[in-house]
Structure 1
Amino acid sequence: MVMTSPLTATADNPVLRVAPASPAAAAAHFGGSLAFHADVSDVASTLAADGDPGFVVLDSRSAESWDQGRVPGAVHLPTALIPERAAALLDPAVPVITYCWGPGCNGATRAALALARLGYQVKEMLGGFEYWVREGFAFETSGGVERRGADPLTAPAETADCGC
């Protein structure tokens, strides 16, 4: 296979039809992305460690969804109620990690926006509750604590660390 420079990319190459950004622009973009997003496994490992994680996890779904399953220790605050209830439930000095159902849902994004508009530091947990469960982390339901095996398409089968 012959490697080509993005500068020599042609219209025949759909991947390089638009050249990659400069390294400086890419660093700014990806660094910015990390300022707005948290990974499910990073949230889980931080919550599992001893001590204060330095953030609070917020479930922005309905009461019915909350009862179906949630991240242990999460605060329940549906997005529509954030303007009226956030001050009573959240400390403005503590960053908030929002989640909703999963990657096909933008509820966590809407919740993060509502919180940011109120002055909270906020990140969205990528993958939401779906990936929390699919990666094999324990979750609470109205019936107690549950855990499912990790889906090998979303988490390593033999170790807790994907190495990324």
Structure 2
Amino acid sequence: MVQGIDATGLKSPIASTVVTFREAPALAGLVTDALTGAALAGINVRLSPGDLTQVTSATGAYSFTGIAAGTYNVTATNGGSGCAGEVATTEVDIDRAVPMNLMLAPESDVYGYTCKTTPDVPFVQGTTKLSVKTGYVLTHGPGVVRECPV
């Protein structure tokens, strides 16, 4: 309640009003591995429109503050593209501080195959031969995976 007093000591009628404080629009959350539930550090998180980018902390946390209210797409990515990458994306309406946890899951190729990448290790190209066990070589070409005796 508020009451004003002028210089001569006269008091105004008591007035009251409801004051509502709103949280500023923001988005924050954790990025975790969908298979293990472990927090993921160093993951790129993008908010668009606006193309804002954050990198997750050692605890998998990210946050976007100082943004306008609106509808955004938030995307977390790790690794390459196709089956070598992991991605989590969703659309979110932000009109206050909104929590949004993301779980990275392996992307799959057109055949449903998925793979897991190791940070800082390059993805092996499809025409490279890899030793998979003694006396055998795994070859992978366009649409073909074979295990051949050496």
TM-score normalised per structure 2: 0.22
Instruction: Point out the structure with the larger helix share.
Output: 1
Q: TM-score, normalised by structure 1?
A: 0.21
Of the two, which has the highest radius of gyration?
Answer: 2
Report the structure, 1 or 2, having the larger strand content.
2
